[in-house]
Amino acid sequence: MAQRASRTCGILLHPTSLPGPHGIGTLGAQAKAFVDFLHAAGQSLWQILPLGPTGYGDSPYSALSSFAGNPLMIDLDLLAAEGLVDPAELSASPRSTDRVDFGAVVQHKVPLLQRAAQRFLLHASPERKQAFELFCYEQRAWLEDWALFSIVKSMHEGKSIHQWEEALKRRDPAALDRVRHDFAEQIAISNVVQFFFYDQWNAVRAYAHSKGISILGDMPIFVAYDSDAVWVSPREFQIDQNLVPHVVAGVPPDYFAADGQLWGNPLYDWPYLAETGYAWWLARLRHALNQADIVRLDHFRGFETAWEVPADHPTARHGTWVKGPGDDFFNALREHFGGLPFVAEDLGLITDEVLALRDRHGLPGMFVLQFGFNPGEIRSHAPHRCIRNSVVYTGTHDNDTTVGWFDALPQASRRLVQSYLGTSGATIHWSMIRAAYQTAANTVVVPVQDVLGLGSEARMNVPGLLGSNWSFRLVEQPHAAAAAHLRELAELFERLPS
């Protein structure tokens, strides 16, 4: 793992947002070029969003698997260099713009990946075959289950697990053996595609480490209902015998959504998980820490109390707070991992009990500077409020860009920002980045959109709304002038890697 200085800085950019050909950011040359930019800019962290395969809505926070990687991130040019993709096949790739057209990418890329996997199985060198076999052995706890889930879901025309035929829904051994027999080639192809993903991601991560860059990963506290986790491990969740949840997760109304956010995820059966020593969670976090060096625990407050909503309610307005696993869970994690390499996403309606849980276990929380400039309120996210053991953001993937946020501010809030930061607002993004770097916080992370001064058109996500979320892309690598400015700030405020 790359060594981190006591005061660090980094940039938030999901791999799908990288520039390059073929319609979507990937784990090839452009990922390494971004690492080079981070190094030139004096950064020591690259924060990403969850890496799992996405389903309806394309949200990385609603992945189809807790362990599989997103095949859409696989770099086709690397496969072509390996002789697994015919370069002529790439000519029909979706046009690359500042947005990802996920539907077009899926339609073009998935068949190419399947053919590449078939070629690998037939023609790979002994060394590559050995690497693949080692991967299959090391990932055996989840790899076949992911393939089976994908195949059975396809057999049922993409329907949710509760709509599958009984024998397959309940994982009857004889029914699963029939799938293994009838779809042996498809299972092998699925395994190879996952090998492609992790082979490329591990190469990117190793390259980042060689440049002194650590990866800050991200893990949603909840899994998607329509995912392999619920099918493979239903006992871990509050669902009935038909694999249907009675209650689902969300958050009550807050500054992101007036009706709250109805996520629809199944809630955990924490007493049962405690009886197992949190074995499922330990496996999930072990895997996450093989992908990243530090993991942001999304919706940390759910470990103290979670918002439980009846499954038939149309919004999250009417729910109940229910207790989470609390100290027992984090004590188990510390014993297993020998420490807690996690960041607590402690945004939203946070109670003293949540903060106390965070602090008892020494976890850094988050400050978002955009939340620190509301006149007449306690400005708990203002730069002067940021504490040492924390991660400070100008904004997150759920916020508007800093330029878009500033442009939309009421006059009173805008005047407060201008007065506080001593700026006219002409380059508000640099004023906010400077303020973040000045704070006492050990770590600062800035979305790449703010580094480039992009407006609302570059926003990554609007919580609670379906549409073009998650599709933002760079059209080129961040420029050298931005790297120079970031490095200057990192040096000025003692955030350069040691």
Give percent of the chain with pLDDT exceeding 90.
90
Please tell me which residue in 75, 298, 304, 346 is annotated as part of the active site. Answer: 298
Report which of 467, 465, 464, 399 is spatially closest to residue 250, judged by C-alpha positions: 464
Question: What pTM did the predictor assign?
Answer: 0.96
Report which of 444, 330, 447, 386 is spatially closest to residue 49, judged by C-alpha positions: 447
- Percent helix, strand and coil across the chain, each to the nearest 5: 45, 15, 40
- Angle, nearest 10°, between helix axes 143-155 and 173-182? 90
Length reported for the chain: 498
Q: What does pLDDT average to over the chain? A: 95
Residue 256: pLDDT band (50, 70, 90) is: low
Q: DSSP per residue over 47-58, as a string?
A: E----SPB-TT-
Please tell me which residue in 58, 345, 346, 450 is annotated as part of the active site. Answer: 345
Q: What is the pLDDT of residues 462-480, one digit of tens each?
A: 987 777 899 999 999 999 9
Which H or E element spans position 229? Answer: helix 228-232
CATH domain 8-492 topology: TIM Barrel (3.20.20)
Whole-number Å distance between alpha carbons of 418 and 406: 10
Judge contact between 399 and 409, C-beta under 8 A.
Answer: no
Torsion sign across C-alpha atoms 384, 385, 391, 392: negative
Neighbours of 93 (CB within 10 A): 17
Structure-derived torsion over alpha carbons of residues 195, 196, 199, 204, reported in degrees to the nearest 10: -150
Judge contact between 349 and 402, C-beta under 8 A.
Answer: no
Does the pLDDT at position 3 exceed 50? no
Q: Is 345 marked active-site?
A: yes
Q: Is 398 marked active-site?
A: yes
Q: What is the pLDDT of residues 404-453, one digit of tens each?
A: 999 999 999 999 999 999 999 999 999 999 999 999 999 999 999 999 99
Does the pLDDT at position 128 exceed 60? yes
What type of residue sits at position 326? G
Report which of 67, 46, 63 is spatially closest to residue 54, judged by C-alpha positions: 63
Q: What is the pLDDT of residues 334-375, one digit of tens each?
A: 999 999 999 999 998 899 999 999 999 999 999 999 999 999
Please tell me which residue in 101, 269, 398, 407 is annotated as part of the active site. Answer: 398
- Domain coordinates in residue numbering, the chain: 8-492
Whole-number Å distance between alpha carbons of 146 and 370: 39
